[in-house]
Structure 1
Amino acid sequence: MIKRIFEKYFRHFLFFYSFLGYKIIILLVSSLLVGLLDGFGLALFIPVFQIAADGSDITGAEADSMGELRFLLTWIEGLGFDLNLNVVITFMVILFVLKAIMRFLDGYFKIKLQNQFVKKLRYQLVDGLSDLGYKEFLNFDSGKIQNTLASEGIKLTYGFLAYFNSLQHAILLLVYIGLAMLSNFQFAILVSIGGYLSNLVFKYLFTNTEKASIGLSKLGNTFQSFLVQAVYNFKYLKATDYFSSYKLKLKDVIDKIEHNQRKIGIYSAIMSSAREPIILAVVVLIILIQVNVLGGTMSSILLSLIFLYRALNYIVTLQGSWQGFISNIGGLLASVDLIRDFKLGREQIKEQPTVDQIQSLQLKSISFSYPNGFRVLENVDINLRPLSTYAFVGESGSGKTTLVNLIIGLINPTDGLIEVNGAARKNVNISTYRKRFGYITQEPVIFNDTIFNNVTLWAEKSPLNLKRFGEAIQLANLQEFLSGLPEREDTYLGDNGVLISGGQKQRVSIARELYKNVDVLIFDEATSALDSETEKAIQTNIDNLMGKFTIIIIAHRLSTIRKADTIYLMEKGNIKDEGTFDELIDKSKKFKRMVELQEF
């Protein structure tokens, strides 16, 4: 029962508590102290007015007009002071100065907690993405990932502040109601009734704002997804004039986003415009009831009005800050959902044993099928010897790329066993295993940064790293290109390497893998997107690396596999034949025909 109550009414608090722990309690206690110091300081206005009006010290009857709050005057007297104007004003000023100091510390601490929370949540998102298995990643919406990590992060900041502003306003509201009970019990009842009635007015707005906020986050995911695809496929969309149709879809999503934002804006405008009239109406009503019905005295009414203003102000600001939190709750929920999904798709990695070097790698009766039952590989047996070069050729759909994904450890076989250094790969630390591979793809991965950072992935420019960088540049035949640049290794390459040629991009990607100090180099159709002259230069690179690394080549072009030690001819997920280039020419009619037609 208690658990259900907490999950229903305190689920947001429990969520923040899971990130920040006891620090939340410290923040709430500081808010309580701010309210008490402010309330006690306000209470002392009554004796100040009475002393100023009468010209004499406070009497017992006058102190009784403060209700239970007269203990403040008793406390001052207990310290040995007379209850004259100067003394009461001095204590009142001290209380307000302490309140100001506490409010500053409270605000500073809240900003620190906000930074800590947003940082920790974003770290979890980044770690979750990093720990996600490749197979599970393929089922994710890239737009959702990008939107949550980027755009929704802004909502996290605003949402955090709005939520804790709401908590602090609620505490201050309770403080002033408590002080009101001490000074005038009837007043407290009236404030509670007024707060309850005003809450009914805004409940409808809160519910609809929350729905609009969640819908806005989902639309943001959709828009990011379509936008990413538009950028990635820009050339095709532009060349075919499909962009004129595609942009209609983008505009449709934009219209829906703006519609939800407009609804949230309207609800917020209603909240903002209704605050003052509600406060005024409740104030007038309570004054009339106290004077005409309850027969309150002038001093009790004055003290009630002071607390009334504070309490009702926090009722409305509480509603406003809660509205702000609800407006940004979509970002919070999107982040929580994504973290949960990341955890469900997390790759399980064993700590030990690690793989410090790949000395042997064997695939024994390997098969792989997709969840829908489609079989891609069937009983593949391969023994990859160190420092040898292997090539896989075959028609599209023959299983070459899937085989490479299995070898590098992106996916695991459905049947069969992969052994590394004589041990089953499933029993070793897969992360350290992957670090022993260099992977060069058809589309080179180039970051919008300098050549040095692209090769070293933001390593420090220490003497050792600069030496390793120079060696990788030399092995990748980039030294001539680099020496011709005014800023040399500090030259920026642009988004996806737009400022350099295709061959240079490919060399940079090769240099990165060589800097990594790997055992196995995989070239996955690394020259298929290059012109003949550039392909020849890259092929020279590959030839120079033979014998220094274990090399795996997937290729369609003859020139990239002629010197391979072993060529595997694949067909419909099976290894149809194997041998050197010349051996396959002699014994495989299919391979010979492929050579004649230059199908690879």
Structure 2
Amino acid sequence: MNVSKNIVQRYFRHFYFFYTYLGYRSFILIFLSILVGLLDGFGLAMFIPVFQLAADGGSINSFDSLGDLKIFFDWIQTLGFSVNLTLVIVIMILLFLLKAILKYVDGIYKIRLQNKFVKKLRNQLVDGLSSLDYKAFLGLDSGKIQNVLGAEGIKLTYGFLAYFNSVQHAVLLLVYVSLAMLSNLEFAILVSLGGLLSNFMFQYLFKSTEIASLGLSNLGHTYQSYLVQSVYNFKYLKATGYFYSYKLKIKDIIDKIEFNQRKIGKYNAIMSSAREPIILLVVVLIIVIQVHYLEGAIATIMLSLMFLYRALNYIVTLQGSWQGFIANIGGLRSSVDLIKEFNLGIERFPDTPLISKVNYILLENVSFSYPNGFQVLSNINLDISSLKTFAFIGESGSGKTSLVNLIVGLISPSSGKIYVNGLDRNYVNLASFRERIGYITQEPVIFNDTIYHNITLWASHNSDNFDKFKKAIRLANLDGFIESLPEKEHTRLGDNGILISGGQKQRISIARELFKDVDILIFDEATSALDSETEKQIQENIDMLMGKFTMILIAHRLSTIKKADSISVMASGKVMDTGTFDELYQRNLQFKKMIELQEF
């Protein structure tokens, strides 16, 4: 069993790949091709008796000119039908009509399979990205992810169609060669030899195109990566004048992409222009051989020529469609490789128990180190109880954000335990736990969509959701701002919220978490990028939410955390002291110095 599977994967690896996504449907497509080829072949064979019946005055004594295909007419005669010109023409028309119907069904079915395949593969990519562990995500190339999910997706469509066109052309070629064997064995041998010779001629083109296609996909990943970085770092590049040198780097990648595309185009042009001369050459050679050396009968040669035309046409179109598949194989391989990378970094946790409400979180002797051994957090002990506000302060690099990443479950402790409601978090459903957490960051996450969709994350616009929406914007002090807009909640915000202010973006981020109906709100430097007036307004929001939610505040500006129930001073990955604002001010010199430096 394993041997046969290895043979299939080695010699039919592309078909095996598509089969893993389509299953038995792949064989239905092949079966339809066989039927189309047989109906077309038998329909073509009808021309010989039509010519003979027309030339002989409507009667025919023998069907030997059809070779072994005469069994078809022998079968008709056993049914009691008299073979005449009218019957043969009717049969021929019926065969071609049935062929046309099946070809239509085949085309529709192929498109449905293509849609199914592309949808399934893209869904697999999206599911893989969403299931990816945060640490694994940090190790991936963001340009590759964007390129595969975006630009390379177009190649999936073309690649699928080109491959199954190749399979169908190969099947039809075999059908016509088989029919040729039944009518004239010598012809079949000649066709096979012609096909092999043309295949050797184009083998170099196939290999060169495959190399260029893979190179094009890799360059596409790099291009997308640099493009994303240019947009993200636009302000810096513009302000420093570095955009010129960065632009030259991007243009160099564009030149390499165009070079590979030109190579693929050149190979395709060679394939396209060489088709007709090859067909003509092989046709002439076979006619000469049949007439002068094999002494074939005129009727047999005519039938041979009809099968010859079909068979040789599919030899060349097979080469063309295979060339098209090879030209797009980079997109398929990139998608498969990325899925494998996603699967290696998939985040795993048990389905149960679910966390329906977070009552408290306990950290016991928690430490975290990166794989290179650098320790970020050391022996953290915290008891985060319900409806209290906990603040963490310290210089950059003290471990505040890493602590938040641990609390929300983006990373796991290198040592120590985290408990949720008394349960070891390693053994609870982490997705359900995260659903109970709202996270507001220094850089607000704003999507290029309407206010309503940004806050509800595309929830349907029904009465229940709209009531939740209005409650969320009221708590976030957004109701007045939204009412002042001509399009109200349907106002679009632009890319990354470019059409609104920083304070409005933060309020929308807060409203989104409130709409989510969470137990814990985390503010990670949520006011550090705002001006003093806007910071004051957001601070009022935070103060108003205290006591209604369990809150975790990470802050540089100490005015944000004055009313917190518990403030922890962090340094070098450790909690150095914990207390209220007044307690720390009285006993902690570092805290007092921070207060005085900020003229608090």
TM-score by structure 1 length?
A: 0.99
1:161-180 to 2 correspondence within 5 Å?
A: 161-180=161-180
Q: Deviations over 1:357-410 (max 9, x none)?
A: 011111100100000000001101010111111110001100000000000110
Cα separation, 1, equivalents of 2:95 and 2:75: 13
Cα separation, 2, equivalents of 1:375 and 1:481: 45
1:56 is matched with: 58
1:27 is matched with: 29
2:426 is matched with: 426
Cα separation, 1, equivalents of 2:421 and 2:414: 21
Which one of the candidate residues 24, 41, 44 is aligned to 1:42? 44
State the AA in 2 paired with 1:491.
Answer: T
Contact 1:133 1:346 in 2 (8 A): yes
2:221 is matched with: 221
Instruction: Tell which deviates more after alignment, 47-56 or 134-143.
Output: 47-56
1:337-416 to 2 correspondence within 5 Å?
A: 337-416=337-416
Tell me the secondary structure at the aligned position of residue 140 of structure 1.
Answer: coil
Tell me the secondary structure at the aligned position of residue 66 of structure 1.
Answer: helix
1:522-561 to 2 correspondence within 5 Å?
A: 522-561=522-561
Contact 1:393 1:555 in 2 (8 A): yes
Q: Deviations over 1:321-367 (max 9, x none)?
A: 00000000000000000011100100002100010001111110010
1:10 is matched with: 12
1:143 is matched with: 143
Tell me the secondary structure at the aligned position of residue 548 of structure 2.
Answer: coil
Tell me the secondary structure at the aligned position of residue 65 of structure 1.
Answer: helix
1:288 is matched with: 288
1:110 is matched with: 110
Confirm whether residue 236 of structure 1 aligns to residue 236 of structure 2.
yes
Contact 2:365 2:416 in 1 (8 A): yes
Contact 1:159 1:329 in 2 (8 A): yes
State the AA in 2 paired with 1:326.
Answer: I
Tell me the secondary structure at the aligned position of residue 261 of structure 1.
Answer: helix
1:75 is matched with: 75
Contact 1:394 1:400 in 2 (8 A): yes
Contact 2:585 2:591 in 1 (8 A): yes
Question: How many angstroms does 1:578 deviate by?
Answer: 0.9
State the AA in 1 paired with 2:436.
Answer: R
Cα separation, 1, equivalents of 2:510 and 2:360: 23
Q: Any stretches of 5+ residues in structure 1 without a counterpart?
A: none
Question: How many angstroms does 1:294 deviate by?
Answer: 0.5
Question: How many angstroms does 1:137 deviate by?
Answer: 0.4
State the AA in 2 paired with 1:200.
Answer: F
State the AA in 2 paired with 1:429.
Answer: N
State the AA in 2 paired with 1:534.
Answer: T
% identity of equivalent residues? 67
Question: How many angstroms does 1:72 deviate by?
Answer: 2.0
Question: How many angstroms does 1:491 deviate by?
Answer: 1.0
Cα separation, 2, equivalents of 1:476 and 1:147: 37
Cα separation, 1, equivalents of 2:401 and 2:290: 83
Contact 2:349 2:426 in 1 (8 A): no
1:574 is matched with: 574
Cα separation, 2, equivalents of 1:175 and 1:75: 21
Question: How many angstroms does 1:471 deviate by?
Answer: 0.6
Question: How many angstroms does 1:163 deviate by?
Answer: 0.3
Pair 1:599–1:187, CA change in 2 (3 A): farther
Tell me the secondary structure at the aligned position of residue 106 of structure 2.
Answer: helix
Cα separation, 1, equivalents of 2:279 and 2:11: 26
Contact 1:557 1:599 in 2 (8 A): no
Question: How many angstroms does 1:487 deviate by?
Answer: 1.3
Cα separation, 1, equivalents of 2:434 and 2:58: 86
Cα separation, 1, equivalents of 2:462 and 2:78: 69
Contact 2:162 2:324 in 1 (8 A): yes
Cα separation, 2, equivalents of 1:265 and 1:466: 53
Question: How many angstroms does 1:77 deviate by?
Answer: 2.2
Cα separation, 2, equivalents of 1:149 and 1:282: 44
State the AA in 2 paired with 1:242.
Answer: Y
Contact 1:556 1:599 in 2 (8 A): no
Cα separation, 1, equivalents of 2:470 and 2:8: 60
TM-score by structure 2 length?
A: 0.99
Contact 1:354 1:428 in 2 (8 A): yes
Question: How many angstroms does 1:521 deviate by?
Answer: 0.3
Tell me the secondary structure at the aligned position of residue 80 of structure 1.
Answer: coil
1:197 is matched with: 197
State the AA in 1 paired with 2:306.
Answer: I
Contact 2:390 2:566 in 1 (8 A): yes
1:159 is matched with: 159
Contact 1:368 1:375 in 2 (8 A): yes
Contact 2:367 2:415 in 1 (8 A): yes
Cα separation, 2, equivalents of 1:569 and 1:58: 106
Cα separation, 1, equivalents of 2:304 and 2:582: 101
Tell me the secondary structure at the aligned position of residue 115 of structure 1.
Answer: helix
Confirm whether residue 92 of structure 1 aligns to residue 92 of structure 2.
yes
Tell me the secondary structure at the aligned position of residue 69 of structure 2.
Answer: helix
Confirm whether residue 514 of structure 1 aligns to residue 531 of structure 2.
no
1:298-337 to 2 correspondence within 5 Å?
A: 298-337=298-337
State the AA in 2 paired with 1:268.
Answer: N
State the AA in 2 paired with 1:21.
Answer: G
State the AA in 1 paired with 2:13.
Answer: R
Instruction: Tell which deviates more after alignment, 456-465 or 51-60.
Output: 51-60
Tell me the secondary structure at the aligned position of residue 155 of structure 1.
Answer: helix
Q: Any stretches of 5+ residues in structure 2 without a counterpart?
A: none
Question: How many angstroms does 1:421 deviate by?
Answer: 0.3
Tell me the secondary structure at the aligned position of residue 227 of structure 2.
Answer: helix
Cα separation, 2, equivalents of 1:79 and 1:476: 85
Cα separation, 2, equivalents of 1:519 and 1:13: 50
The number of aligned residues is 598
Contact 1:388 1:550 in 2 (8 A): yes
Q: Deviations over 1:550-577 (max 9, x none)?
A: 1100000021011111110001001111
Instruction: Tell which deviates more after alignment, 485-494 or 269-278.
Output: 485-494
Cα separation, 2, equivalents of 1:599 and 1:194: 89
Question: How many angstroms does 1:24 deviate by?
Answer: 0.8
State the AA in 2 paired with 1:595.
Answer: I
Contact 1:387 1:548 in 2 (8 A): yes
Cα separation, 2, equivalents of 1:14 and 1:223: 31
2:495 is matched with: 495
1:450-489 to 2 correspondence within 5 Å?
A: 450-489=450-489
Superposed CA RMSD in Å reads: 0.9
Confirm whether residue 444 of structure 1 aligns to residue 444 of structure 2.
yes
Question: How many angstroms does 1:102 deviate by?
Answer: 0.3
Cα separation, 1, equivalents of 2:256 and 2:462: 52
Contact 1:564 1:580 in 2 (8 A): yes
Cα separation, 2, equivalents of 1:55 and 1:241: 90
Tell me the secondary structure at the aligned position of residue 98 of structure 2.
Answer: helix
State the AA in 1 paired with 2:466.
Answer: L
Question: How many angstroms does 1:536 deviate by?
Answer: 0.2
Cα separation, 2, equivalents of 1:184 and 1:503: 83
Contact 2:349 2:427 in 1 (8 A): no
Question: How many angstroms does 1:599 deviate by?
Answer: 9.4
Tell me the secondary structure at the aligned position of residue 17 of structure 2.
Answer: helix
